[in-house]
Structure 1
Amino acid sequence: SGGGRTTSTTTMRVGGGGGGGGRYRAANGGKQMTRHDTDHEYVFREESYFHYVFGNTRYSDCYGAVSLPDGRTTLFVPTWGVEVSTICGPCPNLDDVRDELGIDGVMRVEDMASYIDDAMTEMGRRRRRRGGAMSRTTAATVGGEITDDGDGGCETMSVPPPSPPCDDVPDDRPRLYLLRGLNTDSGNYASPAYYAGIEKYDDVRDEVTLFECIAECRVTKSTAEIELMRYTNWMSSMAHVEVMRYVKPGMMEYQLESLFQHHTYTYGGCRHMSYTCICACGPNSNILHYGHAGRPNSGRALTNDDMALLDMGAEYHCYASDITCSYPVRGTFTNDQRCIYESVLAAQVCVLGRLRPGVSWVDMHRIAEGEILRGLMRCGVLRAPDDEISDYDDDDDDDDAIIGKMIESDLGAVFMPHGLGHLIGIDTHDVGGYAPGTPVRSDRPGLKKLRTARILGAGMVITVEPGCYFIDPLLDMALLHEGQRTFINVSRLNEFRGFGGIRLEDNVCITEDGCENLTQCPRAVEEVLDVMSGGVWPPTKDIMPGMKRAWSVCKGGKMRMLPLPILGM
Structure 2
Amino acid sequence: MFKIGANTMSVPMSLFADNRKRLCNKLRTTDVPEHSIVLLQGGQQLQQDSTDRDITFRQESFFQWCFGVSEPDCYGAIDVTSGRCVLFIPKLPVEYRVWMGEIFPPSHFQAKYRVDDVMFVDDVSTVIPDVLRSMEARVILTLERGLISDREGLGIAGSICSSFKMDTESLQPVISECRVIKSKGEIDIIRYVSRVSSEAHKEIMRRIRPGWMEYQAESLFRHLVQTHGGGRHVFYDCVASSGPRCAIMNYGGATCPNDHVIEDGTLCLFDMSGEYCCYGSDITNTFPANGKFTEDQKAIYHIVLEANMAVKAAMRPGGWF
Report SS of the residue matched to 1:359.
Answer: coil
How far off is 1:23 after superposition? Answer: 3.5
Distance 2:122 2:267 in 1: 56
Distance 2:63 2:109 in 1: 15
How far off is 1:192 after superposition? Answer: 3.0
- Give the aligned partner of residue 216 of structure 1: 177
Distance 1:118 1:284 in 2: 54
Alignment of 1:145-294 (within 5 A): 174-180=138-144, 189-193=145-149, 195=156, 197-201=159-163, 204-294=165-255
Q: 1:119 to 1:280 in 2, by over 3 A?
A: closer
Letter aligned with residue 162 of structure 2: K
How far off is 1:51 after superposition? Answer: 0.5
How far off is 1:280 after superposition? Answer: 0.5
- Give the aligned partner of residue 62 of structure 1: 74
How far off is 1:211 after superposition? Answer: 1.5
Match of residue 327, structure 1, among 276, 279, 287: 287
Q: 1:207 to 1:23 in 2, by over 3 A?
A: closer
Report SS of the residue matched to 2:40.
Answer: strand
Alignment of 1:527-542 (within 5 A): none
- Give the aligned partner of residue 84 of structure 1: 96
Distance 1:65 1:287 in 2: 42
Distance 1:327 1:115 in 2: 54
Alignment of 1:341-380 (within 5 A): 341-360=301-320, 363=321
* 1:400-429 C-alpha deviation (Å, 9 max, x unpaired): xxxxxxxxxxxxxxxxxxxxxxxxxxxxxx
- Give the aligned partner of residue 9 of structure 2: none
How far off is 1:111 after superposition? Answer: 7.0
State the structure with bigger RCO (CA 8 A, min sep 6), 1 or 2. 2
Distance 2:131 2:216 in 1: 56
Report SS of the residue matched to 2:280.
Answer: coil
Letter aligned with residue 67 of structure 2: F
Which stretches of structure 1, 4 residues or more, deviate above 6 A after TM superposition?
none
Report SS of the residue matched to 1:301.
Answer: coil
Q: 1:250 to 1:15 in 2, by over 3 A?
A: same
How far off is 1:336 after superposition? Answer: 0.4
Letter aligned with residue 107 of structure 2: D
Unmatched segments (≥5 aa) in structure 1? 124-138, 140-173, 181-188, 364-569
Report SS of the residue matched to 1:32.
Answer: coil
How far off is 1:41 after superposition? Answer: 1.1
Q: TM-score, normalised by structure 2?
A: 0.87
1:336 equivalenced with 2:292 (yes/no): no
- Give the aligned partner of residue 37 of structure 2: 24
Alignment RMSD, CA only?
Answer: 2.0
Distance 2:104 2:88 in 1: 11
Q: 1:118 to 1:277 in 2, by over 3 A?
A: closer
1:10 equivalenced with 2:22 (yes/no): no
Aligned residues: 299
Letter aligned with residue 19 of structure 2: G
Report SS of the residue matched to 1:106.
Answer: strand
How far off is 1:110 after superposition? Answer: 3.5
> Is the contact made by 1:179 and 1:191 (CA closer than 8 Å) also made in structure 2?
no
How far off is 1:45 after superposition? Answer: 0.9
> Is the contact made by 2:42 and 2:72 (CA closer than 8 Å) also made in structure 1?
yes
Deviates more, 1:342-351 or 1:89-98: 89-98
- Give the aligned partner of residue 107 of structure 1: 119
Report SS of the residue matched to 1:14.
Answer: coil
Report SS of the residue matched to 2:199.
Answer: helix
> Is the contact made by 2:35 and 2:139 (CA closer than 8 Å) also made in structure 1?
no
Distance 2:175 2:200 in 1: 33
Q: 1:63 to 1:122 in 2, by over 3 A?
A: closer
> Is the contact made by 1:308 and 1:328 (CA closer than 8 Å) also made in structure 2?
yes
Distance 1:295 1:358 in 2: 39
Letter aligned with residue 342 of structure 1: H
Letter aligned with residue 56 of structure 2: V
How far off is 1:91 after superposition? Answer: 2.2
How far off is 1:257 after superposition? Answer: 0.9
How far off is 1:68 after superposition? Answer: 1.6
Report SS of the residue matched to 2:241.
Answer: strand
Find the structure with the greater CA-based Rg.
1
Q: 1:111 to 1:13 in 2, by over 3 A?
A: farther
- Give the aligned partner of residue 59 of structure 2: 46
* 1:369-402 C-alpha deviation (Å, 9 max, x unpaired): xxxxxxxxxxxxxxxxxxxxxxxxxxxxxxxxxx
How far off is 1:179 after superposition? Answer: 1.5
1:93 equivalenced with 2:119 (yes/no): no
How far off is 1:274 after superposition? Answer: 0.4
> Is the contact made by 1:192 and 1:207 (CA closer than 8 Å) also made in structure 2?
no
Match of residue 271, structure 2, among 292, 311, 319: 311
> Is the contact made by 1:279 and 1:311 (CA closer than 8 Å) also made in structure 2?
yes
How far off is 1:17 after superposition? Answer: 4.2
Distance 2:133 2:96 in 1: 33
Unmatched segments (≥5 aa) in structure 2? 1-12, 150-154
Letter aligned with residue 41 of structure 1: D
How far off is 1:32 after superposition? Answer: 0.6
1:33 equivalenced with 2:33 (yes/no): no
